[in-house]
Structure 1
Amino acid sequence: MSQKNEFGITHLRHVDLAVPDYDTQRTFYKDTWGLTEVGTDSGLSYLATEGSPEQYVVRLRKAADKRLDLIAFGAESATAVDALATRLASQGIQLVSQPGKLQTAGGGYGFRFFDVDGRTIEISSDVATRQHRAIEEGEAIPVRISHAVMNSNDINKTREFYETYLGFKLTDSLWSQHMGEMMHFMRCNDWHHSLALAQGPHTSVHHVSFEMRGLDEYMRGTGRVMRAGIKKVWGPGRHKAGNNTFSYFLDPSGNTMEYTTELERLETDQWHPSVYDIADPMTQDQWGTADPMSELIAKESFNDKDRGIFVAPPV
């Protein structure tokens, strides 16, 4: 299997969010969503999944403004980190920090930069792993972070940035007769996507997805979150692109979070991207159990305009 990223990017590590309602969010992610708080620092909460060696998958920061702080991707070595930083800087990409020892939980070696839309991206290697375990049958908590989807008002420009500068590959796209290309699924390893780009009115978080152990655990988790009174945006259903299940909910800050399972893994490098028409009901939901995708549902995932564009988070 040679789905290797040409610049040594290995996987999605974590998504960091700044939230005004910090305490409410901490409670939601721990008690309702099923993450484990592995540490806190002044106004910071680090949340891990029990099934993954990743130090943490979500970081919450107490802040006046809601924003995406950063998206972090792993790299195979410190050498790869240095090479990528040098390459980006030489091509005029604005670095937020030079490669060095990370001060966040788990340490490691990395740097940060702004992507074409102004999101802060971190690339890191040598982050300490955490004790993790196999999730048991019937245990309806996330195994790992699956993917992050970001809104962009020009998804082809954003796609080109990730292909050119970070070596992501296009797996599949969603398309609409009236709107053109609506979503690009991008990969940095053999998972169908670790990152996806959604056409939206502004730069913001579309959703963050968490992989469950299996169908039963996915449904039990979906039910638990529904019973907790959390607003369900869409699902349960099964997408065509990626063949994964979906249940989308709004967290207390209005960020969309997804439970998924059985996301496709690509068997071969000879992958030919498909373009799926969103007008086909099977594209959105192969099962037919979710409500049809509507403008109302779509608007929920536009989210608020991100207030962190081209502003690096303080930590």
Structure 2
Amino acid sequence: MINLWDIRYVRLGTPDVEAATRYARDIVGLELGRREGKAAYFRSDDRDHTLVYFEGDPSDHTVGFELRSKEELQAAAAALDAADIAVHAGTADECARRAVGSFINFRDRNGSSIDLVVQPHHSGQRHWPSRDGGITGFSHIGLCSANPSRDEAFWTQTLGAKVSDRIGAAPLLRIDEVHHKVALFPSQRVGVQHINHQVESIDDIMRAWYRLQRAGVRIVFGPGRHPTSGAMFLYFEGPDGMVYEFSSGVRLITPEQEPSYQPRQFPMADTSFCMWGSKPDIPEFKV
């Protein structure tokens, strides 16, 4: 079984890199680390980058996960091959664009593009965001799934994730102590459904709520609190229809809790997404 160590980055194609850059920097509040050709690299913590916008098809999404060693990467390639998943080994140029030592790419059962990387670069510079938004780092992604039961089996049996809770058919999956790093939401689309950044507190969420409204950004859910992870949240619309989320206070499932932990089943209802009463304007969250 493959053991994912952490989520590392998300790469998004866009027809307008300049507009996406302004959004990531001025609206989300990320640090523009550098530009390379027709790509912009953004930092949210001490990693080299956690988000890349590159000129390309806006449906072209890739999520990167870190493994601990080259030996684990080789074993992962073999495990994927045994599961009849086609694997592409990254070229030197592709590794340079991702700022990693080496990586493999594959598509999960729903067709979402996944990188498994080793020796990802850390920045030698202090993280200096474009403004004080309270962001502490890139934390998780939602993925689209035409068949959540099928995709849950792949992510748990092949990629080693564990189910923390389910909302309807949608599993919330953890790869470490954090309640979830991946969520699989029913959808006929392929790729990333939303991108989450953690912020320090509810104060940062509420400041963002007011600031986003003043900037004319469409709020699609929240402020609210998830009954599953316990996190307080705010979702808002980004370039090319991508949904971004700020959240704070996510639940941890510790090693001491792990042996006796039982995933909870929540119905597909508004109250399963928010315990405060906010109703989502997100297709994959609607009943």
Does TM, scored on the shorter chain, surpass 0.5?
yes
How is 1:50-199 mapped onto 2 (pairs within 5 angstroms)? Answer: 52-63=45-56, 65-97=57-89, 102-131=95-124, 139-175=132-168, 181=169, 183-199=170-186
Counterpart of 1:305? none
Work out whether 1:265 is the aligned partner of 2:252.
yes
Matches of 1:287 and 1:165, distance apart in 2:
36
3-state SS of 1:203 partner? coil
Amino acid at match of 1:102: C
Moved more, 122-131 or 70-79: 122-131
Q: Is the contact made by 2:113 and 2:191 (CA closer than 8 Å) also made in structure 1? A: no
Q: 1:265 is paired with a residue of what secondary structure?
A: coil
Q: Could you tell me how far 1:172 is from its partner in structure 2?
A: 0.4
By relative contact order (CA 8 Å, sep 6+), the higher-ranking structure is 1
* Counterpart code for 1:211: Q
Stretches (4+) displaced over 3 A: 98-101, 131-136
> How far apart are residue 252 of structure 1 and its match?
2.5
Check whether the contact 1:19–1:61 (CA below 8 A) recurs between aligned residues.
yes
2:19 matched residue in structure 1 = 24
Cα deviation, residue 117, structure 1 = 1.3
Indicate the SS of the match to 1:66: coil
Take 1:204 and 1:88, find their aligned partners in 2: how far apart are those partners?
19
**Structure 1 residues not aligned, in runs of 5+:** 1-5, 176-180, 303-315
Question: How many equivalent residue pairs?
Answer: 281
- Tell me which moved more, 207-216 or 126-135: 126-135
Q: Which residue in 1 is equivalent to 2:219?
A: 232
The superposition leaves residues 145-196 of structure 1 with CA deviations (integer Å, 9 ceiling, x where unpaired) of: 1110011111111111111211111110002xxxxx2x21011111100000
Contact 1:108 1:127 in 2 (8 A): yes
Give the partner amino acid of 2:41: Y
Looking at structure 2, the residues matched to 251 and 223 of structure 1 have their Cα atoms a distance apart, in angstroms, of 16
Structure 2, unaligned runs of 5 or more: none
- Residue 222 of structure 1: aligned partner: 209
- How many Å apart are 1:241 and its aligned residue? 0.7
What is the aligned-residue identity percentage? 22
| C-alpha separation in 1, matches of 2:159 and 2:72 | 11
> What is the TM-score with the length of structure 1 in the denominator?
0.83
Q: CA RMSD in A?
A: 2.3
Match of 2:38 in 1: 43
Aligned residue in 2 for 1:299: 283
| In 1: Cα distance, 2:12 partner to 2:274 partner | 29
* Alpha-carbon distance in structure 1 between the residues aligned to 2:270 and 2:54: 40
Mapped contact 2:20–2:239 kept (Cα < 8 A): yes
Pairwise CA distance, 1:120: 1.5
Contact 1:82 1:99 in 2 (8 A): no
* Aligned-partner SS, 2:135: coil
Deviation at 1:53, TM superposition (A): 2.4
